[in-house]
């Protein structure tokens, strides 16, 4: 397969052709992979596990991430980007075809030669073990019979020891508990990633707002009005009902046709609602 150092040089450019198919196929691989498999994918490209999880959530994948995903599930990497609907297998030929399709050079295929000893060991391991012949029981010697008689006499001479029977304690099914804990951790990680995506979206919206001169001016005007507002009147604002606010907005909408300040104020209200 490919060298890890080569994988690390690949770009994170989006190679997705069908986002819906990519999301469905990556999510299936992610859910079927255990913790070790996910870490192995991340180690192949020198990245973080969360990067692969984000790709599965968004349905967007680069060539750099598609190949480890494909190797983990043994499918054609082009199947994960939506370029084909045939799963195929993750062969060196399919990986090289995928690379060249995305303007990368095909990589030399490394083949390992196995010696006769390795092949022989594999054959021996796969062969069924020969049935063990039952041992014939011979006659006991006089010494063995004397030893057994002596041990029997000692057991009869020893006083019986009373053993308190302890109630059976139910065995905890550790495997089930570990699976449950892993599912909980996975759910927590998904929630954290979704929160991060929401925060990124909010940051993008904020950047877009402050890059607009008109919106920036409206924010500055709002800050000035709030600074000049009588603090004692803030309590009165808390008593406004939703119907009162709706009436004020309708009144402001009517005034917009004849007043520039009303139009500016309405823009400010809409900005705050966004």
List the domain boundaries for the chain: 4-101, 212-273
Distance, in Å, from the CA atom of 183 to the CA atom of 74, rounded to the nearest integer, reads: 24
So what's the pLDDT on residue 259? 81
Cβ pair 76, 41 in contact under 8 A: no
Please give the helix or strand (H or E) that residue 35 lies within, else none: helix 35-45
Counting beta carbons within 10 angstroms of the beta carbon of residue 128, is it exposed (0 to 12), middle (13 to 18) or buried (19 or more)? exposed
Give, in order, the Cα–Cα distances in Å from 102 to each of 56, 64, 95, 125.
Answer: 20, 11, 11, 42
pLDDT value for 88: 92
At residue 106, the pLDDT reads 82
- Summarize pLDDT for 129-152 with one digit per residue, the tens: 555 555 555 566 666 766 676 667
- Angle at CA 104, nearest 5°, toward 103 and 109? 140
Radius of gyration (Cα) for the chain, nearest Å?
36
Predicted TM-score (pTM) of this structure: 0.42
Closest listed residue to residue 55, CA positions, set 68, 43, 44, 46:
68
Average pLDDT, consecutive stretches of 10 residues, N- to C-terminus, the chain (274 residues) = 80 91 93 92 88 91 91 92 93 91 82 48 53 55 66 60 50 60 76 70 54 64 68 67 83 82 78 68
**pLDDT of amino acid 113:** 47
**DSSP assignment of 128-150:** PPPPPPPPPP-PPPHHHHHHHHH
CATH 1.10.260 fits 4-101, yes or no: yes
pLDDT of residue 25: 93
pLDDT recorded at residue 135? 53
- Return the pLDDT at 39: 92
Burial class (CB in 10 A: 0-12, 13-18, 19+), 208: exposed
d(CA 222, CA 206): 16
Cα distance between the two ends of the chain: 50
Residue 20 contacts residue 59 (beta carbons within 8 Å): yes
What pLDDT score does 196 carry?
72
Tens digits of residue pLDDT in 177-232: 676 777 777 777 777 777 776 666 555 555 555 555 666 666 667 667 666 666 66
Position 171 scores a pLDDT of: 46
């Amino acid at each position: 397969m490919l060298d890890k150092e080569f994988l690390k040089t690949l770009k994170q450019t989006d190679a997705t052709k069908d986002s819906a198919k990519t999301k469905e196929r990556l999510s299936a691989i992610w859910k079927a992979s255990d913790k070790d498999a996910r870490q192995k994918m991340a180690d192949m490209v020198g990245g973080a596990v969360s990067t692969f999880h984000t790709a599965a959530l968004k349905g967007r994948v680069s060539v750099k991430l598609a190949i480890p995903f494909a190797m983990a599930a043994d499918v054609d990497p082009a199947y994960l980007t939506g370029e084909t609907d045939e799963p195929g297998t993750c062969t060196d030929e399919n990986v090289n075809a995928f690379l060249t399709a995305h303007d990368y050079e095909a990589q030399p295929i490394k083949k390992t030669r196995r010696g006769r000893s390795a092949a022989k060991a594999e054959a021996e391991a796969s062969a069924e073990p020969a049935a063990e012949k039952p041992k014939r029981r011979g006659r006991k010697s006089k010494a063995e019979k004397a030893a057994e008689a002596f041990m029997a006499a000692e057991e009869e001479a020893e006083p019986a020891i009373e053993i308190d029977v302890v109630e059976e304690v139910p065995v905890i099914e550790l495997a089930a508990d570990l699976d449950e804990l892993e599912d909980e951790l996975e759910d927590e990680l998904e929630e954290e990633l979704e929160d991060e995506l929401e925060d990124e979206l909010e940051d993008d919206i904020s950047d877009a707002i402050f890059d607009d001169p008109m919106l920036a001016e409206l924010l500055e005007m709002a800050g000035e009005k709030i600074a000049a507002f009588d603090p004692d009147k803030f309590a009165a604002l808390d008593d406004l009902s939703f119907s009162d606010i709706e009436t004020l907005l309708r009144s402001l909408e009517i005034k917009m046709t004849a007043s520039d300040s009303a139009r500016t104020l309405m823009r400010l209200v809409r900005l705050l609602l966004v």
